[in-house]
Amino acid sequence: MKLEKYVDKNEKRRRTILITISVIVLISVSLILYKTFASFTESAEFPMMKGKVDYFGNSDIYFAFYKGDEELDEMPQKGNEENLVFDHGECDNGASIIWDSETWGPIVKNLSKSKTKCSLYFKEYEPNAADYIIDLAKTDTTNLWVDDTNDANLRYVGADADVNNYIDIGDSDGDGNPILWRIIGVMNNITNLDNGGQQESLLKIIRTGSIGYFSWDISESEINYGQGVNEWSQADIMKLLNPQDIYSGIPEIGRSLYWNRENGYCYKNNSSYKPCDFTSSGISEEAKKKIAKVRWNTGTIGEKYYSSKISAKYMYEGERSTHNGKEQCESNNRYCNDEVERTTTWDGYIGLIYPSDYGYAVGREVREICLGKSMVSYVSDSCNTNDWLMLGYDAFTITPAADYGNTVFCVSMDFGIGSCSAGEGDYGDILPVVYLKSSTKIIDGNGEKGTPFIAR
């Protein structure tokens, strides 16, 4: 009996010792795992480092800072005297860098291994063309205004004589004389197809003078009563302005003549055509280098043309909608019998002005009054005389109207925005519009006609 008690007592002692050892081992392992896990989770999004660490030590990450090929002793601070800004970052071990411009520091993503090195590269600030105009708006508070759209675009506004927005993009005629353009503004959230479809702020410009008057589009007499089709992606004027590789088919009349600086024939009035020569006035090779391929909005307002509704903001929203120029057509209507598929976006280089561009260009003391009214009525309240985009032309826009399948919006120097037949070539002046690449910079000039901004 005593022996059994002794055995039980020893057995209990051994169990206690084993349990104690197990608990100690478990706690030790847990602490090691926790320390390792905590180290990585704390470094998963690593905040700003103000100085360089020469060795990893107890840290899982090491930063090095560079200006070009020159290694820096510490990270440049926000507002530094050298005007250095973040360029890009690189990490090993599969980690990546996101730069937080607000806190002025890096955030490291995908940090899954210890002893990871990240290199941060800085460069001298060189504003691109859009940034340059944004900076200019800090001092020019008269002719540069932010519109009331969701995109908050920065636009040149005011009477023609007041607005110094001329720009030289390297475009020139056959004799080498500059062909000037004018800045419409900095447009935000533009899909830049040159940069993989990123949303960017790009400078939008319009050519100073008409390249001629031509039909927006033509059609056979039995199609839309012979007055064309209001679909920009297949319009004859689009094919005149742009390279052949962005549309299918190669029509003999007008094909890429402006883009290629060639002469030939262009459409006017239904199916008729006339000689046209762009060997001196077409877009130059130097200018092409600066033109971005972007996604243009080709939607329209959601009802037939009603003059009382179309304020600049109302039209802007319509241009970005899914409404197209044929959805209001009546069945069996001879003005709407085409079978062309309608789209509301288009990818390309050269387009035309939007109706809303014209509406938002009004300035001076009548600006608020005019923005609150229909653009059809801009001839009243001095809206048209305080709108620099009223350039003395009866010009086509890129936007279809919803009256019929053959009408587009146009700008009239007599009354404002109206609806025009796409096939009416004796009316429609053509003023090309482009967006400049984000790599384009303004290197000189003040925007006056005699001393335009120089973009290179």
Q: What is the pLDDT, as a whole number, of residue 373?
A: 94
Q: What is the pLDDT, as a whole number, of residue 36?
A: 43
Residue pair 320/399 in contact (Cβ under 8 Å)? The answer is no
Is the same domain home to 77 and 221?
no
Q: What is the pLDDT, as a whole number, of residue 326?
A: 93
Please tell me the distance from the alpha carbon of residue 310 to that of residue 331, in angstroms, as a whole number. Answer: 26
143 domain-assigned: no
Q: Last residue of a domain, which of 91, 124, 157?
A: 124
Mean pLDDT per block of 10 residues along the chain (456 residues) reads 48 66 60 44 40 51 92 93 90 89 88 87 91 96 97 98 97 95 98 94 97 94 94 96 84 90 90 91 97 98 82 97 91 88 97 98 97 93 94 90 93 85 88 97 97 97
Q: Last residue of a domain, which of 75, 91, 124?
A: 124
76 domain-assigned: yes
According to DSSP, the β-strands at 294-297 and 345-348 are: antiparallel
Q: What is the pLDDT, as a whole number, of residue 320?
A: 98
Which two tokens mark 236?
Answer: 């004859």
Q: What is the pLDDT, as a whole number, of residue 308?
A: 78
Can you spell out the DSSP letters for 312-340?
HHHHHHHHTSS--TTTTPPTT-TTS---P
20 domain-assigned: no
Is the same domain home to 199 and 86?
no
Is the same domain home to 116 and 210?
no
Is the same domain home to 209 and 69?
no
Q: What is the pLDDT, as a whole number, of residue 188?
A: 98
Chain centroid to CA 403: 29
Is the same domain home to 98 and 217?
no
Parent domain of 362: 190-435
Is the same domain home to 238 and 344?
yes
Q: Last residue of a domain, which of 124, 142, 165?
A: 124
Alpha helices of 137-252 — where are they, by DSSP H? 236-241
Please tell me the distance from the alpha carbon of residue 326 to that of residue 399, in angstroms, as a whole number. Answer: 12
Please tell me the distance from the alpha carbon of residue 34 to that of residue 57, in angstroms, as a whole number. Answer: 19
Is the same domain home to 395 and 282?
yes
Is the same domain home to 118 and 194?
no
Is the same domain home to 216 and 109?
no
354 domain-assigned: yes
Is the same domain home to 337 and 206?
yes
- Smallest Cα–Cα separation from 404: which of 342, 315, 346, 354? 342
**Overall domain count for the chain:** 2
176 domain-assigned: no
0.85 exceeded by pTM: no
173 domain-assigned: no
Is the same domain home to 100 and 197?
no
